[in-house]
Structure 1
Amino acid sequence: MKRLFTLLILLAVGFQSNAQTTSIDPWIKTPANVLNDFMDQRFGLFIHWGPVALRGTEIGWSRGTNVPTAEYDQLYKEFNPVLFNAEEWVKTAKNAGMKYLTITAKHHDGFCLWPTKFSDYNIMNSPYKKDIVGELAKACKKYGLKFCVYFTVLDWHDPNYPIHLPDGKNPDPKADMNKFVSTMKNQLQEIVTKYHPYMLWFDGNWESPWKNEYGVDIYTFLKKLDPNVIINNRIGGGQPNSHPKLSPEIIGDYATPEQKIGELNMKDPWETCMTICQQWAWKPNDKLKSLKECIQTLAKTSGGNGNLLFNVGPMPDGRIEQRQVSRLKEMGEWLNTYGESIYGTKGGPFKPNEIFAATRKGNKLYIHVFERKSTNLVLPALQGVQVNKAYLLKGSNIMHNQDASGVITLQLPAQLPNAEDSVIVLELNTNAENLPVQS
């Protein structure tokens, strides 16, 4: 009923795709309750995968650089990931404590992991001939994860897109952006109507052929298909530095800082995307992040009021490396104990640092302790707030003191219960979510 009501409103305000429009009609913006639900998820799996895994180089970016263009464009003829199992991927995410999954349905190299009718350069023309996107959508539904899709707004393989190599130079005068945008809409309509993604993760909006009005047009088009689909901030043109933030002129629902933890922001939703190794796509012997780095990245991201989209790059045969699966499982084991301090929380009121981060929910303030520098941990003053109780999450009470100015001192145990991140719960005499952010 709510969706029908939204569609009626859209029609009433003259809902049309107009490539000359440079701003989004506020009536069609993703509802706040939908975005709040997204931010409550806190932790998702990013997957960069395609025929390039056969070479172990970066997806898209190695086309015409590390791998000759002609060779790169023929890799799909060898791509036969016979060990791909969508349920195993989804169970890996679920065992890690992740709540959603995002797959690169089409990256900058133009290869499509679903059987699109609008390009022959797709998975059905590989030896594998199975719908990767469809299998993952089905597995996510079975195991209760939200299914999301990555889709680029540039395509170096498509002759109608003016740029054909990662260097962004020498636009092709024979290219036709109107035809390119038409193809893009057709493919997105396939994805939205067939797989019903919870969120669409766009990328590639920095190149000059992609104009802001195209982003407005696509956003509006998508909202006509599904008013509740969530869309990131990489869809508008001319915004090369916009990923870490949102502002009124930026198109999209949330910000996407990349390979770094976003800053504490209680106003705008954001999601850090980061690799579990170093490269987005699979690379042999790529350096894996330590468990400490993984867990503290999640805690600091949540402490900044953001989500973490953590990336794996599966191997050519379709499996995720066992060492990556094991690392993610270790994160899930930590979340089995400490998950209440992550899911459905707000960040703050303290800015995360190398010693601790804070999250909050109801009258509880969760202090994520990363390192025992001394016997006591001193927190910034919370004026007018009283700490009624302090204890280790799933553990014993700890001694605490609060002086007249509101400065809180916590007496840490001689041995923290978790080497990566031990969580102390402070029960307050007020709603912790209403506390102002400390400078």
Structure 2
Amino acid sequence: MKKLAAFCLLLLALQGKAQTNAQLDPKILTSKKVMDQFMDLRFGLFIHWGPVSLRGTEIGWSRHSKVPAAEYDTLYRQFNPVKFNAEEWVKTASDAGMKYLTITAKHHDGFCLWPSAYTDYNITATPFKKDVVGLLAKACKKYHIKFCIYYSVLDWHHPDYPIDNPDDTTAKGIRKDARMDQYVVYMKNQLKELVTGYDPYMLWFDGPWEKPWTPEMAVDVYTYLKTLKKDLIINNRLGKAFSGTGASGTSTFLGDFDTPEQRIGDLDMNTPWETCMTICEQWAWKPDDKMKSLQTCIQTLAKVAGGNGNLLFNVGPRSDGAIEPAQVARLKEMGDWLRKYGAAIYNTHGGPYNPNSKYAATRSGNKVYVHVFDQSQPTIELPAMPGVKVNKAYLLKGAAVKLTTAADRFTITLPAVLPDANDTVVVLETDKPALSVAPIK
């Protein structure tokens, strides 16, 4: 088994561009074992929430635009989410088959969902007063969900952060008396509160693109965090080369995993990645927001896993603290599907085929799981896997299917009625480890 594992790891190293963290001391990087365990989870819940839910506009970004800053910055005085129940939120994640949860402890608007000692702009200043972060951390332990925290690098509210309005480059949008060095101290103090107070599994940073934040600050904060918790997982958005810039595999990449946003990442067998995506259209709660269909939700998860990534799927609870019942129901439907077909998602690797509109593929051991999306075709053709023989083919949780092989392809004959209209999983059992096959385009 050890030789087989080493062989598979070598193949993975050869199949993709190497992730780099050239600015960091290799000794402080999160271990491969911890990152492999994180990637095995495959599915998590993202939650964007705060006083802005009183207006139904986007968190952070609507300050100065749809909501005047003077009004936005005082919404906390009315924020009293009496229906907030941390256990209900976490149970929603558990019922959906999610394995981790990430809460926006501080977004770009600077409001803190925990009782920070370093600012009065926090949950204790609201009529609600309860520690949202602490209650969620406790509930996650009960339901065996990994607890993670989102924290924004930028802060348009804080007096020491130079930018007040990102859309106004005149003197009005800049704080002339701000001190970025003091703001970094503030950040470190708050991050220490979060790490030592709530022991998060992962920190999810955002907002590194503005000029006041420098690459040197990013390296400093990553290094500092590793003095607090050695194997704390940290995403790539501390660094300036965040997702969408082609940063993965370059010398400017900093962090433990990449984070494509509102899109499915490319098949990557080397750099860990996680797609963050909304279940509706807006990150924070919006009245009558359009929700994705169950088919889109399930196929998105399958395509993400097929690309060797995780899916962090977002909901925005209402101002009363409840998640929209329709969103809870949709997530439960995803969980129902996972209870049947989770073997094709959890603890798998992506590939060897690139996900597309007709199918995706995941693999584990000597099995390739083909996720069939197109219900209209009687057969599905796949390129052959070089050097690998398919011994048998069958439906996951079902009967055998006919497999015809040629030198360059496999043809799977599908049943007249597929067992799942959203994603029918066909299992191909191979004579060699499925992971030994290089990605096939």
Q: TM-score, normalised by structure 2?
A: 0.93
Give the partner amino acid of 1:38: F
1:265 corresponds in structure 2 to: 268
1:236 corresponds in structure 2 to: 239
Contact residue 345 and residue 360 of structure 1 kept, 8 A: yes
2:224 counterpart SS class: helix
1:418 corresponds in structure 2 to: 420
1:188 corresponds in structure 2 to: 191
Aligned pair 1:92/2:92, yes or no? yes
2:236 counterpart SS class: coil
Q: 1:295 aligns with which of 282, 293, 298?
A: 298
In structure 1, how many angstroms separate the alpha carbons of the residues matched to 2:126 and 2:424? Answer: 48
Runs of 4+, deviation exceeding 6 Å: none
Moved more, 240-249 or 99-108: 240-249
1:79 corresponds in structure 2 to: 79
2:316 corresponds in structure 1 to: 313
Quickly say closer, same or farther: Cα 1:138–1:243, change in 2 above 3 A.
farther
Equivalences for residues 328-339 of structure 1 within 5 A: 328-339=331-342
Deviation readout 1:336-366 (Å, 9 max, x if unpaired): 0000000000000000000000000000000
Alpha-carbon offset, residue 330 of structure 1: 0.2
Alpha-carbon offset, residue 244 of structure 1: 7.0
Moved more, 382-391 or 424-433: 382-391
Task: Let me know the Cα RMSD of the aligned residues.
Answer: 1.4
2:49 corresponds in structure 1 to: 49
In structure 2, how many angstroms separate the alpha carbons of the residues matched to 1:181 and 1:431? Answer: 48
Give the partner amino acid of 2:113: L
In structure 1, how many angstroms separate the alpha carbons of the residues matched to 2:360 and 2:243? Answer: 30
Give the partner amino acid of 1:71: E
Contact residue 262 and residue 306 of structure 1 kept, 8 A: yes
Quickly say closer, same or farther: Cα 1:233–1:168, change in 2 above 3 A.
farther
In structure 2, how many angstroms separate the alpha carbons of the residues matched to 1:35 and 1:243? Answer: 21
Alpha-carbon offset, residue 372 of structure 1: 2.7
Please list every run of 5 or more consecutive structure 2 residues that lacks an aligned counterpart in the other structure.
Answer: 1-20
Alpha-carbon offset, residue 238 of structure 1: 5.9
Quickly say closer, same or farther: Cα 1:321–1:244, change in 2 above 3 A.
farther
In structure 2, how many angstroms separate the alpha carbons of the residues matched to 1:168 and 1:428? Answer: 59
Give the partner amino acid of 2:214: K
Please list every run of 5 or more consecutive structure 1 residues that lacks an aligned counterpart in the other structure.
Answer: 1-20
Equivalences for residues 40-439 of structure 1 within 5 A: 40-167=40-167, 169-170=169-170, 171-237=174-240, 239=242, 241-242=244-245, 245-403=248-406, 405-439=407-441
Alpha-carbon offset, residue 243 of structure 1: 7.4
Alpha-carbon offset, residue 382 of structure 1: 1.2
1:3 corresponds in structure 2 to: none
1:234 counterpart SS class: helix
Moved more, 427-436 or 95-104: 427-436
Give the partner amino acid of 1:40: D
Quickly say closer, same or farther: Cα 1:320–1:258, change in 2 above 3 A.
same
Alpha-carbon offset, residue 184 of structure 1: 0.3
1:52 counterpart SS class: helix
2:130 counterpart SS class: coil
Contact residue 244 and residue 256 of structure 1 kept, 8 A: no
Alpha-carbon offset, residue 248 of structure 1: 3.0
Alpha-carbon offset, residue 166 of structure 1: 3.2
Give the partner amino acid of 1:256: T
Give the partner amino acid of 1:249: T
Alpha-carbon offset, residue 242 of structure 1: 3.5
Alpha-carbon offset, residue 236 of structure 1: 1.4
In structure 2, how many angstroms separate the alpha carbons of the residues matched to 1:314 and 1:246? Answer: 36
In structure 1, how many angstroms separate the alpha carbons of the residues matched to 2:122 and 2:176? Answer: 26
Alpha-carbon offset, residue 247 of structure 1: 2.8
Give the partner amino acid of 1:413: P
1:357 counterpart SS class: strand
Deviation readout 1:295-332 (Å, 9 max, x if unpaired): 00000000000000000000000000000000000000
In structure 1, how many angstroms separate the alpha carbons of the residues matched to 2:169 and 2:228? Answer: 35
Contact residue 241 and residue 252 of structure 2 kept, 8 A: no
2:14 corresponds in structure 1 to: none
Quickly say closer, same or farther: Cα 1:363–1:293, change in 2 above 3 A.
same
Deviation readout 1:388-417 (Å, 9 max, x if unpaired): 1111000111110111x1411100011111
In structure 2, how many angstroms separate the alpha carbons of the residues matched to 1:356 and 1:312? Answer: 26
In structure 2, how many angstroms separate the alpha carbons of the residues matched to 1:243 and 1:197? Answer: 28
Deviation readout 1:77-120 (Å, 9 max, x if unpaired): 00000110000000000000000000000000000000000000
Q: TM-score, normalised by structure 1?
A: 0.93
Alpha-carbon offset, residue 54 of structure 1: 0.1
Give the partner amino acid of 1:94: S
In structure 2, how many angstroms separate the alpha carbons of the residues matched to 1:337 and 1:239? Answer: 36
In structure 2, how many angstroms separate the alpha carbons of the residues matched to 1:243 and 1:80? Answer: 42
In structure 1, how many angstroms separate the alpha carbons of the residues matched to 2:379 and 2:161? Answer: 59
In structure 2, how many angstroms separate the alpha carbons of the residues matched to 1:377 and 1:244? Answer: 35
Quickly say closer, same or farther: Cα 1:315–1:211, change in 2 above 3 A.
same
Identity of aligned residues (%): 61
Give the partner amino acid of 1:375: P
In structure 2, how many angstroms separate the alpha carbons of the residues matched to 1:267 and 1:111? Answer: 36
Give the partner amino acid of 1:370: F
Alpha-carbon offset, residue 245 of structure 1: 3.1
In structure 1, how many angstroms separate the alpha carbons of the residues matched to 2:169 and 2:339? Answer: 49
Contact residue 380 and residue 407 of structure 1 kept, 8 A: yes
Contact residue 245 and residue 270 of structure 1 kept, 8 A: no
| Larger RCO of the pair (alpha carbons < 8 Å, separation 6+) | 2
Alpha-carbon offset, residue 22 of structure 1: 8.6
